[in-house]
Amino acid sequence: LREMVKICCIGAGYVGGPTMAVIALKCPDIQVVVVDISVPRITAWNSDQLPIYEPGLDDVVKQCRGKNLFFSTDVEKHVCEADIVFVSVNTPTKTRGLGAGKAADLTYWESAARMIADVSKSDKIVVEKSTVPVKTAEAIEKILTHNSKGINFQILSNPEFLAEGTAIEDLFKPDRVLIGGRETPGGQKAIQTLKNVYAHWVPEENIITTNLWSAELSKLAANAFLAQRISSVNAMSALCEATGANVSQVAYAVGKDTRIGPKFLNASVGFGGSCFQKDILNLVYICECNGLPEVAEYWKQVIKINDYQKSRFVNRVVASMFNTVSNKKIAILGFAFKKDTGDTRETPAIDVCKGLLGDKACVSIYDPQVTEDQIRRDLTLNKFEWDHPFHVQRPMSPTTVKQVTVVWDAYAATKDAHAICILTEWDEFKTLDYKRIYDNMQKPAFIFDGRNVVDIEKLREIGFIVYSIGKPLDAWLKDMPAIA
């Protein structure tokens, strides 16, 4: 009798945790162990307070934990025992050296690969789950085979397409699962083994198999295409404001074309999250390394427009309020990079808050899921530092400490404020008592909606001066043009 297939996943983060929990739920015949070097993370996975907030995740973990799903810091033991090892460690942007600010930092990946080679005593399939540059599999293969002591390693690329906030839904019903492998008999056998895992719940026609390089590049390409849609609609939002068009109407009309489709066309203060910017920078770097500067330049624009959108928003706020926000209280509603997550990596709120603080505003921040510690930490980090666990912790300057308050309620955040900036599309911001909020604010009272969630007409009736991305401007705002 063949023993139970054993899976070990290195990296218990936003991807490793939910992905493995769903594999365990859907494959009762497979034992899944998620390992991490971070003791607090593993402790949290083993507690009632999971380390990440993701709708539906608690339920899945509760059903399998202790049965066929385990979380452990004993990395080497579980890697040694596994048949399939997923590597889902962080792959941030390099902050120094060759390719700094662009290339992927594969330090964590390489150390995981070396550790796998060191501790393995039996043949293994090693699966790239992290998003990595094209051709990483080749480098990993070299590390593994040069240190293999006769063990056979097969490398597969199996990038993850889940989005935060809908991770469980996305994992239950993925648009596709992508598996890339070598075109050798050994490679094809490994692909089949991994395919059998997903086939427990994903229809066969949705499991795509390719060569290694196509799988690696498809992940970068998919994120670049998605981000490009947002930058396209955001670029249009600036033109809408200048012309009196309404970006929601334009997006609706454009999205009705079945070749374009209606999803992912919401104008916003800018995209955030741990993936889009990092993966595009990585793509740009790979293009440059391959002698394709025109292609690199094309994708760079997606990030430039995103940065433009964030600074355009800040400029709009400052310009509307008589060109100064010095000592004015500004309420920030929402700090996470999107709703239904507590994740703040690359959130546009960081840039907007830094911009307002630079103009000496006092910001009062409320987010339903993000803690004060996290917010204060984010506001002190430099670009690209956030995903490097060993960066230098810098204290906030004493003036900034005073300029920032974090509160646990939208009403406290907005009390006596001159303006409100909505930076995350949390559902609860749609149903706040805006009359009550208005009554407690300084006048004129401004709302800058960076997510197009509020009912502009209703708010104008209450008395607010309202700015909403890509929407026809109030007379007030027309008189106070922002120079981006």
Minimum CB separation from ligand UDX for residue 163, in Å? 4
Nearer residue to ligand NAD within complex by CB, 161 or 298: 161
Using CA atoms, how far apart are residues 401 and 243, in angstroms rounded to an integer? Answer: 40
Minimum CB separation from ligand NAD for residue 80, in Å? 14
Q: One symbol per residue from 206 to 235: x for binding ligand UDX (CB under 6 A), - otherwise; what is it?
A: -----------------x--x---x-----
Please state whether beta strands 207-211 and 30-35 pair in parallel, antiparallel, or not at all (unpaired).
Answer: unpaired
Angle between helical axes of 107-119 and 136-146 (0-180°, round to 10):
30
Which positions are annotated as active-site residues? Answer: 275
162 contacts ligand UDX (rule: CB under 6 A): yes
Residues sharing a CB contact under 8 Å with residue 452, sequence separation 6 or more, in sequence order: 247, 248, 266, 267, 268, 468, 469, 470, 471
163 contacts ligand UDX (rule: CB under 6 A): yes
Binding residues (CB under 6 A) for ligand NAD: these are: 10-16, 35-38, 41, 75, 88-91, 108, 111-112, 130-131, 160, 162, 164, 274-275
271 contacts ligand UDX (rule: CB under 6 A): yes
450 contacts ligand UDX (rule: CB under 6 A): no
Q: Kindly list the distances between the CA atom of residue 206 and the CA atoms of 126, 199, 240, 446, 472, in Å, as whole numbers in the listed order.
A: 22, 9, 39, 48, 42
338 contacts ligand UDX (rule: CB under 6 A): yes
Residue 89 near which of ligand NAD, ligand UDX, none (CB within 5-8 Å, type-dependent):
ligand NAD
Instruction: Please indicate if the annotation marks 393 as binding a ligand.
Output: no
Count of positions (residues) in the chain: 484
Look up residue 53 and give its amino acid: Y
Using CA atoms, how far apart are residues 378 and 380, in angstroms rounded to an integer? Answer: 5
Minimum CB separation from ligand UDX for residue 237, in Å? 10
Q: Applying CB under 6 A, which of residues 13, 18, 180, 273 lies at the interface with ligand UDX? A: 273
Residue 334 near which of ligand UDX, ligand NAD, none (CB within 5-8 Å, type-dependent):
none
Residue 10 near which of ligand UDX, ligand NAD, none (CB within 5-8 Å, type-dependent):
ligand NAD
303 contacts ligand UDX (rule: CB under 6 A): no
Instruction: Please indicate if the annotation marks 399 as binding a ligand.
Output: no
Task: Report which DSSP code applies to 206.
Answer: G
Nearer residue to ligand UDX within complex by CB, 258 or 393: 258
Asked if the peptide bond before residue 203 counts as cis, ω within 30 degrees of 0, the response is no
The tokens for 426 are: 């949390």
Per residue, the 3-state secondary structure of 215-256, as one string, reads HHHHHHHHHHHHHHHHHHHHHHHHHHHHHCCCHHHHHHHHHC
Element (H, E) at 177: strand 177-181
Annotated binding site for NAD(+): 11-16, 36, 41, 89-93, 130-131, 164, 275-278, 345
Q: Which residues bind ligand UDX (CB under 6 A)?
A: 160-164, 223, 226, 230, 264-266, 268, 271-273, 275-276, 337-338
